[in-house]
Amino acid sequence: MTAIADLSAAELIEAYRRAALSPVEVARDVLTRIEAAASYNAFLPITPEPVLAAAAASETRWRARAPLGAVDGLPATIKDNVWLKGEPTRRGSRTGDVTAKATADAPAAARLREQGVVFVGKTTLPEYGWIGVCHSPLTGVTRNPWNPQHTPGGSTGGGAVAALLGLGVLHLGTDGAGSLRIPAAFTGVFGMKPTYGRVPAYPPSPFNVLAHQGPIARKVADAALMLSVMSGPDARDMTAWNTPAEDFTAGLDGGVRGLRVAFSPRLGGAARPDADIEAAARRAARMLEEQGATVEEADPPLARARETIETLWWAGAAAIVDSMPAAQRALMDPGLLAIAQRGRAITATDYLAAYTRRNELHAAMLGFHERYDLLLTPTMPVTALKAGSVMPDGSSDDDWIEWSPYTYPFNLTQQPAASVPGGIAGNGLPIGVQIVGPPRGERLVLRAAQVLEQAMPMPPVPV
């Protein structure tokens, strides 16, 4: 029998339906493997009793042939900057009150729980998700199972490790400048930032309109199922859509024949990827072409994107830090304090100009997508950084945005974007390729991702 860690969401649901497995068996197995994988530091402390109680309730429903929904009994994780009822929300910070527990689920967590998901634990992140790696004052360094001397990326770093090792099948993360796609690329899993507003969020992020919530998972189909559930409306988010959730698993195998794909290996010179990474992206472009897409090299119109993201990101960091009493700031990540200092120099006029510039970028990309259905790029120009580092070896810059040029533009434009595994570099670390769709184009992104997942399978992680 296939190990539980290797089963997809659909396979687990079918096993529950046939009574070949029970949610309790699966929950116990996941909890045991989380404990065995403790050296990667992907989870906050877990209390098993409520996990097993939720699994037992699901088991009862399956025995009665009355599951709550499409994810009943599936083990899931949630990033620790998202509310989970009855649990503290620490955000990777030592400044919070560990006794202050969330009184309600965040919208995405609520939609998943309503359909019977079993939350097994909360996953690690850098403090307030401020950076694209995964170490924090609260939990220390999270490590990459491909090579523990390297980071899994961030800020959804713990969720990426959980997805890679099968420590649950559904993993909820956030993405303000690449925080789902960066760790997906660095660990060789699938991570997707849906169109802004597709997944409701509450309370709002300090990074405001940049911040999306979405799935990270080992399989595209698992992420599509998760997105189908957690896209349900929630009135607490004043910017979210009020339309019913769609079934993103429908048509997932529709392929890419007839689609027009722009391939931008370097974003017009803004990025200089490692040779292995550019080769993997070109291989992905050929795969899409072989499956019937029309692919041509073209660069998207993203003028002043870095200046814009830095203005908004630094200002958000300043808002986080300045909300803390002076004594607590001494407990915070020095890197976060440094960008907060930059943020204090940003005027309201600067901030509003950057906020407005997002609309210009959005309009420019709408024009781009009149010609192209999808955009294909590398996800990252480098493979996973050394664990505990903020910048690649030899970098003369001190701004992490510099090494993530492919991801943040699409937080500004709020388009759907996903990272798909693209193979292994010569150094033994994973590569990701990014697929970007037009606003509300999640289905196209998922279809293309499914094609690439099947065309470029990943080897098992050497753990």
Read off the DSSP letter of residue 435.
E
- Whether 179 is catalytic is yes
Residue type, 387: A
The answer to whether the CB of 412 falls within 8 A of the CB of 194 is no
Angle between helix axes 334-344 and 305-322 (nearest 10 degrees) is 110
Assign 459 to helix, strand or coil: coil
Catalytic pick among 8, 58, 155, 205: 155
Q: Are strands 170-175 and 75-79 parallel, antiparallel or unpaired?
A: parallel
Counts for the chain of helices (H) and strands (E), in that order: 14, 12
Catalytic residue (choose from 8, 22, 58, 79): 79
Q: Is the peptide bond before 264 cis (omega within 30 degrees of 0)?
A: no
Q: What residues form DSSP beta bridges with 419? A: 191, 434
Which residue, chain included where needed, has tokens 């204090």? 344
The answer to whether 264 and 302 have CB atoms below 8 angstroms apart is: no
For 123, phi and psi rounded to 5 degrees? -105, 160
Structural contact between residues 317 and 339, judged by C-beta atoms closer than 8 angstroms: yes
What lies within 8 Å, CB to CB, of 462 at 6+ separation is 146
Count of other CB atoms within 10 angstroms of residue 208: 14
Could you tell me where the DSSP H helices lie in 18-102? Answer: 23-36, 48-63
Active site (annotated) includes residue 79: yes
Nearest to 437 by CA among 310, 242, 256: 256
132 and 153 Cβ atoms separated by less than 8 Å: yes
**Residue 155 annotated in active site:** yes
Set 179, 205, 264, 419: catalytic member? 179
What is the number of other CB atoms lying within 10 angstroms of the CB of residue 393? Answer: 8
**Catalytic site residues?**
79, 155, 179
